[in-house]
């Protein structure tokens, strides 16, 4: 089977492959359903038992049903969905990357020189987990068996570095990663330069820096409205608040509250919750349609027109993990995420078209080809860095 057929880059060599020996439930995945269940039981215990009007009873039923649905959904994900995903997960280590594949697509990848030394954590069932962590970003929380406490209803949050779970040969995998990592850090790989693709960036208003070479320019062929279940859940979550606010106006009027203050409050609250629910979706869709994507030999950029000025976001190739192809788009994550996690702001609600994020390439006609080109450009940039480093070393060692 050719490298490209196996999902590897041209010239990339597979060194080790494995999969979980058994699919166990991760304790950290039970935190959210446990909290929701505790809140639901507390609400039932503290709710008044006396007579209530129809509106109050209806609110209690809706709230209880929503909480129960949350408990069921998160419990099914922790007890059934995640173990099923683990059964279909394959781990690969090449001479350049660690690849984690679930089903038919790469779910996560990192270059070996972006990793610190992995850690083997033995398990009671005789297997061991292999914990991956970003180089120079170590913390004790990365050694926990489960994932960090998830932040619900947050689209675009960068996943933490994963754990290779349930390995019967975790020590062998650690040695292969460690050896390959040292070879990459020492520049012991033969990396070919990348040829530029047809097309120019003049129409995008982009001017390359001196010595910078443009490799590819493109744009969205189709702009999706939603980006995964978390994105849909985020909008649905705030839409529930908008619906609940709609009930407050007739209730307030029935109690004899002043009409003008209640109306103003309701309108402001509806707008405040309505923007995360649907306003950001409309604005994001329009921004993506106006976007242009540019890949150079040193950075990746997304630009768009904002009024009369050109705006956008960019990131150096060396600071990015390998790209992830999903639903016709190419998603990029930082190799060294912010120490305090993802920034949360009004701007961040625009993910994957936020100016605070790395560039995301949405709605491409050939996303896998562009992802492979980005990988090749990232490795070629490393090759140039290795070459300059070796040149300086040779000059410093030469006799005067």
For the chain, the domains span 1-190, 195-219+291-400, 229-289
The DSSP symbol for 140 reads: G
In this prediction, residue 118 carries a pLDDT of 92
Per-residue pLDDT, 251: 65
Nearest to 146 by CA among 122, 125, 163: 163
Confidence (pLDDT) at 363: 93
Residue 229: the pLDDT is: 80
Helix (H) or strand (E) holding 235: helix 229-254
Its CATH class, for the domain covering 195-219+291-400, is: mainly beta
Nearest to 156, CA basis, from 73, 280, 296: 280
Place of tokens 């410093």: 396
Q: Please identify every stretch of the chain with a pLDDT value under 70, giving residue numbers as ranges.
A: 1-6, 43-44, 46-67, 104, 106, 136-154, 198-205, 247-257, 259-260, 338-345, 386-400
Cβ contacts of residue 208 below 8 Å, gap of 6+? 201, 214, 296
pTM over 0.75: yes
**Distance in angstroms (rounded) separating the CA atoms of residues 163 and 151:** 19
Residues 170 and 148 sit within 8 Å (Cβ to Cβ): no
Torsion angle of alpha carbons 30, 35, 41, 45, nearest 10°?
A: 160
pLDDT at residue 268, rounded to an integer? 80
pLDDT of residue 2: 39
List, in sequence order, the alpha helices (H) in the chain. Answer: 31-46, 54-76, 82-87, 170-185, 229-254, 259-274, 280-289, 367-397
For the chain, how are helix, strand and coil distributed in percent, rounded to 5?
A: 45, 20, 40
What's the chain's length in residues? 400
* CA atoms within 13 A of residue 396's CA, in its CB half-sphere: 6
At residue 387, the pLDDT reads 59
Structure tokens at 225: 């409205």
The tokens for 175 are 């040695």
Is the CB of residue 334 less than 8 Å from the CB of residue 161?
Answer: no
State the Cα–Cα distance between residues 113 and 96, nearest whole angstrom: 8
- Which DSSP category does 255 fall into? T
Of 147, 130, 137, 88, the residue nearest 116 (C-alpha): 137
Instruction: Quote the pLDDT of residue 1.
Output: 36
pLDDT at 153: 53
Q: List, in order, residues 6 or more apart from 99 with CB less than 8 Å away.
A: 7, 91, 92, 93, 106, 108, 109
Name the β-bridge partners of 315: 300
Specify the pLDDT at position 151: 46
């Amino acid at each position: 089977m050719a490298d490209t057929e196996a999902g590897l880059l041209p010239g990339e060599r597979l060194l080790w492959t494995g999969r979980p020996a058994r699919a166990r439930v991760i304790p950290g995945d039970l935190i959210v359903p446990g909290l929701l269940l505790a809140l639901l039981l507390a609400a039932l215990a503290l709710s008044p038992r006396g007579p209530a009007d129809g509106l109050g009873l209806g609110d209690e039923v809706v709230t209880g049903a929503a909480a129960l649905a949350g408990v069921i959904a998160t419990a099914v994900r922790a007890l059934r969905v995640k173990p099923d995903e683990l059964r279909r997960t394959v781990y690969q280590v090449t001479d350049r990357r660690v690849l984690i594949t679930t089903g038919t697509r790469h779910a996560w990848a990192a270059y070996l020189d972006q990793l610190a030394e992995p850690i083997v954590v033995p398990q009671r069932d005789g297997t061991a987990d292999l914990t991956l962590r970003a180089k120079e970003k170590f913390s004790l929380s990365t050694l926990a068996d489960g994932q960090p406490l998830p932040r619900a209803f947050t689209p675009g949050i960068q996943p933490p570095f994963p754990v290779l779970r349930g390995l019967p040969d975790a020590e062998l995998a650690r040695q292969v990663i460690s050896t390959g990592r040292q070879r990459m850090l020492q520049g012991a790989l033969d990396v070919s330069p990348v040829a530029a693709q047809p097309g120019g960036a003049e129409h995008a208003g982009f001017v390359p820096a001196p010595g910078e070479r443009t490799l590819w320019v493109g744009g969205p062929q189709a702009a999706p409205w939603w980006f995964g279940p978390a994105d849909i859940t985020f909008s649905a979550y705030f839409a529930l608040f908008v619906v609940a606010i709609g009930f407050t106006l007739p209730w307030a009027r029935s109690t004899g509250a002043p009409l003008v203050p209640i109306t103003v409050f309701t309108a402001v609250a509806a707008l405040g919750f309505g923007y995360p629910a649907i306003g950001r979706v409309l604005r994001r869709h329009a921004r993506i349609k106006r976007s242009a994507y540019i890949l150079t030999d040193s950075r990746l950029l997304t630009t768009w027109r904002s009024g009369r000025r050109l705006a956008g976001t960019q990131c150096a190739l060396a600071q990015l993990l390998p790209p992830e192809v999903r639903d016709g788009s190419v998603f990029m994550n930082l190799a060294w995420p912010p120490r305090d996690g993802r920034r949360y702001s009004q701007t961040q609600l625009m993910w994957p078209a936020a100016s605070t994020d790395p560039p995301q390439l949405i709605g491409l006609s050939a996303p896998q080809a562009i992802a492979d080109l980005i990988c090749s450009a990232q490795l070629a940039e490393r090759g140039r860095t290795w070459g300059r480093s070796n040149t300086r070393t040779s000059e410093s060692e030469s006799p005067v």
